[in-house]
Amino acid sequence: MKPFSFVSSFFRWFGKEEKKKTTKLLLVIGGVFFVFILGLFVYIARDLPSPGKINTRFVPESTKIYDRGGKILLYEIHGEVRRTLVSLDQISNYVIGATIAAEDRNFYKHHGFSIRGITRAIFKNVKPGDELQGGSTITQQFVKNSILTSERTFTRKIKELILAIEIELKFKKDEILQMYLNEIPYGSNAYGIEAAAQTFFGKKAKDLTLAESAVLAALPRAPTYYSPYGNNFNETKTRQEWILDRMADDKLVSRQEADMAKKEELKFLEKKEGILAPHFVMYVREKLTEKYGEKFVIEGGLKVYTTLDMDLQKIAEEAVVEGGKKNEQYGARNAALVALDPKTGQILAMQGSRDYFDKDNDGNVNVAIRDRQPGSSFKPFAYARAFQKGYTPETILFDLVTDFGNNYKPQDYDRGQRGPVSMRQALAGSLNIPAVKTLYLAGVKETIDLAHQMGITTLNAGEDRYGLSLVLGGGEVKLLDMVSAFGVFAQNGMRYEETPILKIIDKNGKVLENNEEPSRKEVLDSQIARLITNVLSDNGARAFIFGSASPLVLPDRPVAAKTGTTEEFRDAWTIGYTPSLAAGVWVGNNDNHPMKIGSDGVYVAAPIWHDFMVKALAGKPSEEFQRPEPTNPKKPILAGKMAEETKVKICKPKGLLATDRCPKHLVEERVYRKVHSILYYVDKDNPQGPYPSNPASDPQFSRWEGPVLAWAKANNIYQEDPPKDYDDTHDEKNQPRIEITSPGADYEIISSPVLIKAQANAPLGIKKVEFYIDGALVGTDTTGPYAINYDFFQIANGGHTIRAVVYDPVDNIAETSVSISVNLERVPKISLTSPAGNLSLVRSQFPFLLQANAFAEEGINNVKFYASENLVDRVFPQASGEQTFSAKWSYPGKGVFSVYAVVLDNNGRTAYSRNVKVTVK
C-alpha cells in the first residue's frame, strides 16, 4: 500500500466529517497537530501491506507439548486451520447480534475505530513496556487476525488503525462483518463461525440457537481461556450471560428470550483429541497464549518442553482416583493434587480433578488453580510472621474460648479448651483459638504480605475484608500457590517461582524461553523457615490430636505436613514436603456442596497425599531437614513458662500456713502464681522488647485476660502472694475435752441394751461425738447430752473398750475410752416376729396382732409389747417353757410408731427386741 493512497483516502473521509469552523488560532494549532499526526501516519503506513492481500498468511505448523524428558508427547495443538467460508445469509442472526454485542456494539456507526475505545486503551497502557490492550473494533480485530502479526506494540496498533480505516473505505459493513466471522479464531483449531459451529455443536452456523450463539461469541476474546473444553467454563458461562444481557439491552432480542437462553442446557460435542495429563496441558496452553497470543501458539510450530514428570503424574492420577472412590463415603465427589520440586519450582505433577472427561462433575475444571478456602492449612504463614517478629515455638498462648470482638468466638475442632499451650503444640495440633491469637500478634496485613512474597497470588481484597478469621481459612487461595509457598519452607526461605515450562523452541530452532536454570529469591529468613519445618515435622507435638500413626507420617523419612478443613466441611486439604518434593491435595465438591460432618483433612485428603508421597519417594534416599538454631528468649512467656510459682501447704479453715496440728484432710497444697495472657508481658509488635507499661492499652488485652484469670481460679492457681502467718486454729487453747460418764470403767454388762453417755465441751463448739467399741463406729450424736443406746448382744462376751471422740467445727479432736466386760450368757433373748419389717396399716386392720419369740434359762416372767414407749400389753406365760407370746394392738390413731418387745426372766434380767417402724394412716 502506497503512503499517499492512504493520505488521499483519509482526506476524503475527513472532509465528510469535519465541517465545523474554528478560530484562526485553533486552525493553526490544529493544523500543526494534524501535520504531525499525518506525518506519523505516513511514516508508519509506508510499509503496510495492501488490504487486498487479506488472505495472505504464513504456513501454520502445529505446536507440540512434551513431558520434561521430551520423549512423551502430551498434546499437539494442530497447525491445520479448519475453516469453511460462508456468506452472511448463511449465519444465524443470533450469531451476528451476539458478536456485535460482545465485540463492537457500535459497529454500524463508526468508521473503523472508536475514539472512546482508543482513549481507554491508552490510559490502560501508560507504563513503558506494557502490552496495548482494549479499544479494538471488529474491523481492527479483523485486520489484526488477517493481515498483521501478533506483536503487541504501539506501532502495530497504529498500523491496525490505518488499515481499519482503509478497509472501511473499500468495503461495506456487511462485507467486513462477513470476512470477520469467517476469519476469527474460536479455539480448538476452528477458524470462522462455520467451523466453530461444527466443532463445538455439530451443526451449521445458520442453525445455532441464541444460547449457542452467545457462547461462540464469547470465545474470540480468549479462545483457550474460554474454551468449553478448558478449565474455566464457569467464566465462559458468565460471559455468555453478559452477552445475552447486552443483546437484550440493545433490543437485538427480548429480555424473555435472553433469560430463556441463559437456562438452556448446552450440549457440546465430545472432544476427541488425544491428550495426556489434560489439566496440566490446558494450564500450560493458557500460559502460552497469555504470553505469545492465541494465533502464534496455534500456528507457530513451537516445541514446548514442560516440567511434567510422567511417572509422578501417573502416581498422582492413581492416588486421586483411588482416594476419590474411598471418599465417596464422605460425600466428596472430587479431588486434586499438585506436586513440585521445591528446589526449582518446577511442577512435576498436576491432577486437577478425579476425571478430566467427567462432564457431570465438571471434571475439566482444574481445581488446582481455582480459588478455594484453605482452612487451617493457612496457619503456617501466620506463625512464620509471628516468628519473624520475635515470638518462638515455645511461646505460651492460652487455648481458651475468647470473644475477639463482634461476637467472634472461634472454637477448636473438638470444642475443647486446653489452657496454656505452646505455639509449637498449637500449630502442630492445629488448634484454632491460639491460631487466631497468633494472627493478631503477627498482624493480618503483615501475614498477607508474607504469604504474597512466598507465592500466594490471591488475598488481594485488603486487610478489612479478611480479619482474624483469615488464619482459619477465611480467604481463598489456589492449591498450586499453597504447594509452591510451602516449598519456601522446604528450601529454608528460598522462593523458586513455580513453572510448568522448561524450554520453548520455535519452528526455526530459536529458544524463546529457557527455565532450566531457575532463579531464586530469599523471601523468608532461613531460621524462620526451619522453625516452621521443625514444628510441622514434629510428630510428637501433633500426636495429642492426630495420634502417632496418622497419614501425615511417612514410614522411612522425615516429612513436614499440615492439614486444613473449612467450615461446614466444604474443603479438605493436606500439604506437605520433604527437601526435594512438595505436594498438596484438595478434596471436596466443585459446586461447594459440603461433605459429611467429620470430613476432616486428615481423613479425606491426607490418605491421598500419603499414598502419593510414599510411591513418589520409593527408592529415593531419605533427606533430613536442617534444624533451627536455639531461640533462647529472655522473657519466661516466650520460653514456655507462664510465671514463677510458689507451692505452700495451707490449713483450710483460715487459709493460713498449716502447722503439724492441722488435720491432714484440712491440709491443702496451693500454687501461687501470677498468671496472665501474653499481652500482659509483651508489646505485640516487639515481643522481645521491654514489658508493656500499660498492657490494658492493647484493644485485645481485656478480652484475652478475662478467660485466663478464670482458668487460673478454676485450677486453684492463686494470683495473690502466699500467706506468711501460721494457722492457730488447732493450738492447745482450742482443743476440746470429753469424758465417758456411763458405763464406768470396768463395768460388767449383764443386760442389754445399755445407754452409753459422754460429757464434752470445746472452745470453738462441738460438731459431733462419735462412739466406738473396739475401734468400730457404733453411733454418732450431734446434740447434747451425748449418748447412744447400744445392744451388746451384737458382740461377744468378754472384755471390750468403749471410746468416745469429740470434733469441733474445725476438726480439732479429743477422745477418751473405758474398758468394760460383757457377760450376757444367761441373759434372756427376744425377737419380734410380727410385724416382721416396716409396714403401713389403716384403721380397718386393727386390732393388729403383735408377736414375739422369747427364751430365758431362768424362765420367763413376762413379755411386754410397746408402741413408741406406750405399753400395748403385758403377757405372762401360760405354760412352762412357753416361747411364743402375742398381744392385740388396738387402733392408736394416725402416726408413726416404733414397735418393740421386752422380755423379763425370773432373775430380773431383761432383753429388748429390735424396733420396727409402723405407719398408721
Kindly list the catalytic residues. Answer: 103, 376
* Of 203, 209, 225, the residue nearest 262 (C-alpha): 209
Q: In whole angstroms, give the CA distance from residue 646 to residue 118.
A: 78
Q: In whole angstroms, give the CA distance from residue 390 to residue 688.
A: 6
Q: In whole angstroms, give the CA distance from residue 203 to residue 195.
A: 9
Contact call for residues 459 and 466 (beta carbons, < 8 A): yes
User: How, if at all, do strands 571-577 and 582-588 pair?
Assistant: antiparallel
Q: In whole angstroms, give the CA distance from residue 666 to residue 810.
A: 9
Helix, strand, coil percentages (3-state) for the chain, rounded to 5, are: 35, 25, 40
Bridge partners of residue 786, in order along the sequence? 758
894: number of Cβ within 10 Å: 10
C-alpha cell at 561: 505436613
Question: Which residue reads 464406768 in cell numbers?
Answer: 744
Q: In whole angstroms, give the CA distance from residue 861 to residue 499.
A: 116
C-alpha cell at 408: 467472634
Q: In whole angstroms, give the CA distance from residue 794 to residue 805.
A: 21
Q: In whole angstroms, give the CA distance from residue 532 to residue 561.
A: 10
Return the C-alpha torsion angle 701, 705, 707, 708, nearest 10: 140
Q: With H, G, I as helix, E, B as strand and everything else as coil, classify residue 660.
A: coil
Q: In whole angstroms, give the CA distance from residue 225 to residue 288.
A: 11
User: How, if at all, do strands 860-867 and 895-905 pair?
Assistant: antiparallel
C-alpha cell at 161: 488503525
Question: Which residue reads 526461605 in cell numbers?
Answer: 493
* 232-235 contacts at long range (C-beta below 8 A, 24 or more positions apart): 232/365, 233/362, 233/364, 233/365, 234/365
